[in-house]
Amino acid sequence: MKVWQFDRYGPPSVLTLVDRPTPVPGRDEVLVKLQASGVNPSDVGNVGGHFKSPLPRVPGRDYAGIVVAGNGQEGDEVWGSGPGFGVARDGAHAEYIVLASAWLSRKPRGLSMAQAASIGVPWLAAWWALVGEGRLSAGETVLITGVSGAVGNAATQIAHGLGARVIGADLSSANPSGADAVIDTTKEPLTEAVLGLTERRGVDLVFDAVGGALFEPALNSLRLEGRQIAIASHPQTVSFNLVDFYHGRRRLIGVDTMGLTGEQIAATLDALREGFENGTLQPSPLKTWPFAQAIDAYEAVARHDPPTKHVLVTNG
């Protein structure tokens, strides 16, 4: 089978297309013929050495495909991600992958393989931030930074499905996610803008998908006893006024999709399936790339083209 792998850290150009034996599933495992696999910013970061993956490594966290061997599930159309895919173990930028049958989730009817492969990491991050850890509920207001990206799009839809109000923040006032209000952080101070939209009360929850310079202004946008979810930061080190933090009795919670188990991932995707099948949830716009053009797809992701998701499509 063909796989993309990297044997040193660097830009997307360090990826090489190589031949490897097709893996054989073991006990309680299945072999999936991959039809499509998403390319995430974390995949680009992984190739660049951000996660210090053991080398050589096949990257790729998200996939959709058909079970072709193992455990009597042949022919099932599946979608998903996996614990440590592309980092601790070889990932989905390959023609086949072996995984535990307990990690499988049935692909939603009505989604193409490419659309299904685009869901994975962004929706897992959004679901665990808002539902799994944030406990967002109807009538609450959430601030989502990076709202125009794939994670922001997923989070906005999930929040609206829960009956919450969404205030988005990004580098423009464009609103592809459908947030109830969007703050252009290049033109308005974030905290003041949020307070102006909430009658000076602040938001119940912050979902900070950006971090860095926005971390403290987002934290200061919380109401008394509000909570903030952090999933990313560029740069990685931030500072904030600890006195204001504890006087506000606020809570700071980290969410790491890399730490989810295969069973947790499958259960989350199972929970999302109905929304995609009945149309209440919609995947982000996507651009597909032939599997042989993975380097081009990685470079497109590295250029940050929200809200487009980039997906590799295999032949046959």
Structural domain boundaries enclosing 179? 122-256
Is residue 273 in some structural domain? Answer: no
* Mean pLDDT over the full length of the chain: 95
pLDDT of residue 179: 98
Q: What is the amino acid identity at position 137? A: S
Same domain for 185 and 114, yes or no, is: no
Same domain for 235 and 252, yes or no, is: yes
Query: How many structural domains does the chain have?
Result: 2
Q: How far is CA 300 from the centre of its chain?
A: 17
pLDDT of residue 316: 53
Is residue 167 in some structural domain? Answer: yes
Write the pLDDT tens digit of every residue in 268-309. 999 999 999 999 999 999 999 999 999 999 999 999 866 689
Same domain for 102 and 171, yes or no, is: no
Is residue 31 in some structural domain? Answer: yes
Same domain for 89 and 139, yes or no, is: no
Is residue 261 in some structural domain? Answer: no
Which residues of the chain fall short of a pLDDT of 50? none
Torsion angle of alpha carbons 97, 101, 103, 104, nearest 10°?
A: 80
Write the pLDDT tens digit of every residue in 137-167. 999 999 999 999 999 999 999 999 999 999 9
Same domain for 35 and 113, yes or no, is: yes
Is residue 266 in some structural domain? Answer: no
Same domain for 169 and 224, yes or no, is: yes
pLDDT of residue 157: 98
Same domain for 129 and 243, yes or no, is: yes
Domain of residue 95, CATH code? 3.90.180.10
pLDDT of residue 72: 84
Q: What is the pTM of this model?
A: 0.95
Question: Tokens for 109?
Answer: 């009817």
pLDDT of residue 201: 98
Is residue 274 in some structural domain? Answer: no
pLDDT of residue 306: 60
Same domain for 161 and 252, yes or no, is: yes
Q: What are phi and psi of 65, to 5 degrees?
A: -175, -165
Question: What is the spatial distance between Cα 243 and Cα 259, in angstroms, rounded to a whole number?
Answer: 31
Q: Own/partner pairs for 280-283, CB < 8 Å, 24+ apart?
A: 280/157, 280/161, 281/157, 281/158, 281/161, 282/157, 283/111, 283/115, 283/118, 283/119, 283/309
Q: What is the amino acid identity at position 231? A: I
Same domain for 32 and 103, yes or no, is: yes
Strands 165-170 and 141-145: parallel
Is residue 295 in some structural domain? Answer: yes
Domain of residue 252, CATH code? 3.40.50.720
Contacts of residue 307, defined as CB under 8 A and 6 or more positions apart, other chains included, come to: 148, 149, 150, 152, 153, 176, 177, 284, 285
Same domain for 157 and 98, yes or no, is: no
Same domain for 174 and 101, yes or no, is: no
Is residue 81 in some structural domain? Answer: yes
Same domain for 111 and 126, yes or no, is: no
